Amino acid sequence: MGILFSVCGFWKNTESDDILEIQYSFAERKGIVKMRKVILDCDPGHDDAFAIMLAAQHFDLLGVTTVGGNGTLENVTRNALVVLEQIGKTDIPVFPGHAGPSTHELVTAPNVHGNSGLDGPVVSPPRRKPEKKHAVDFIVDTVMNNDDVTLIATGPLTNIAAALNREPEISKKASGLYIMGGGAYAGNWTAAAEFNIWVDAEAAYKVFHSGIDLHMVGVNLTRQCPVDSAFIDRLRGIGNHTGEFCAQLCDFFSKGGDAHLHDACAVAWLIDPSLIESAYLHVDIELNGLLTRGMTVTDLRFLQTTKPDADIDLTSTARWDDPEEGSPFRGKAPNTHVAFRLDYEGFCKLLTKTIANYP
């Protein structure tokens, strides 16, 4: 007999997944399981599509907000509507937000996501329109008028920073913020900076200095989540419409040979915290560096190890405020839970099970 328990809206079973799904469905219908309330701020984007699919099934997804990033605001908003339509979740509203940063012009990534931002599958235009309410207004109103709303951001942090500027109490009122952005060691758009943070570094600076309970999934973690031929075969093997849609997304996304499901990792961490190992560290945003603008400067000094085959030791019990002999000052207090290691097989099982539950 399997044991049922819930972690942040995700379900686990020690023996039988089949029995578990029946138990979970019954519990949800009876109101025993309370789904976590979530807003997903994104810029779809192939990997954002998978983030939407995970969030729409495992949480009470109150709304999807869009921001200029991987593509123009018009394109990413359309793409969010397309993804929700493909998975049969047309009851989830989509709120367009800022078209780009306030300090400079938007830079997009057609070299990665194609001209539409979601090249690959041939799909019809979405049948419904986005909401007229601005994403920032929706975020502020929803967080301030509800208890326990968690924010997930998988694009530039322009909307989130604007919401914090509008209502600073969001940093205390929200249950937390999970972002895909940055990197503990290096970047992907530049040698030092990851794309989402680099696109609007000023917004990222605002968010990282806001005091919100912050979880960062950077490219140091997401490189452990490759989109390769075996992964695509796994998606296609699900045998339903959504699985084929996802496989076609990945056919295009992986054509450059170096694709990873960055954004889905941030959602997966909230669904099942056991999938990711992390450390609580101080992270700041570089705004002025000629070569390092947009870098998430991560203080790893307290995880350093003398082991020749490792740069850091996640089992370290050192604290930021432990006085080191001859060095009483050890930096600033931690402000970010930084992801380091992914259970890739566990992630794949979560994702494929999720996709299998769609049409």
pLDDT score of 20 more than 70: no
Q: Which of 87-96, 218-227, 252-261 has the lowest mean pLDDT?
A: 252-261
315 band by pLDDT with thresholds 50, 70 and 90: confident
Confidence bin at 335 (pLDDT 50/70/90): very high
pTM, whole model, 2 decimals?
0.89
Predicted pLDDT at 324: 59
Q: Which residues of 274-309 are buried (b: 16+ CB within 10 A; e: fewer)?
A: ebbebbebbbbbbeeeeeebbbbbbbeebbeeeeee
The residues facing 38 across adjacent strands are 61, 150
Residue 303: pLDDT band (50, 70, 90) is confident
- Identify whether the C-beta of residue 61 lies closer than 8 Å to the C-beta of residue 55: yes
Catalytic machinery residues: 262
Give pLDDT, residue 7. 38
The rounded Cα 49 to chain-centroid distance in angstroms is 11
Q: How far, rounded to the nearest angstrom, does the alpha carbon of residue 211 sit from its chain's CA centroid?
A: 19
pLDDT tens, 39-66?
999 999 999 999 999 999 999 999 999 9
pLDDT at position 310 = 67
DSSP 96: E
- Mean pLDDT, to the nearest integer, of 16-45? 64
Pairing of strands 10-13, 296-298: unpaired
Q: What is the pLDDT of residue 294?
A: 98
Residues near 163 by beta carbon (within 8 Å), at least 6 away in sequence: 136, 139, 140, 143, 170
130-154 pLDDT, tens digit each: 999 999 999 999 999 999 999 999 9
pLDDT confidence of residue 313: 81
φ, ψ of residue 209 in degrees (nearest 5) = -100, 10
Res. 320 pLDDT band, cuts 50 70 90: low
Question: What are the residue boundaries of the structural domains of the chain, listed by start?
Answer: 37-356
Phi, then psi, of 131 in degrees rounded to 5: -70, 155
Q: Given the DSSP bridges, would you call strands 336-342 and 214-217 parallel, antiparallel or unpaired?
A: parallel
Tell me what pLDDT residue 33 has: 59
Contacts of 296 (CB under 8 A, 6+ apart): 181, 182, 183, 184, 193, 194, 197, 204, 208, 216, 218, 283, 284, 285
pLDDT of 277-294, one tens digit each?
999 999 999 999 999 999
| pLDDT in the model for residue 229 | 93
Radius of gyration of the chain (CA): 20
Considering the chain, what is the average pLDDT of its residues? 88
- CA of residue 221 relative to chain centroid, distance: 12
What's domain 37-356's architecture?
Alpha-Beta Complex (3.90)
pLDDT value at 321 more than 90: no
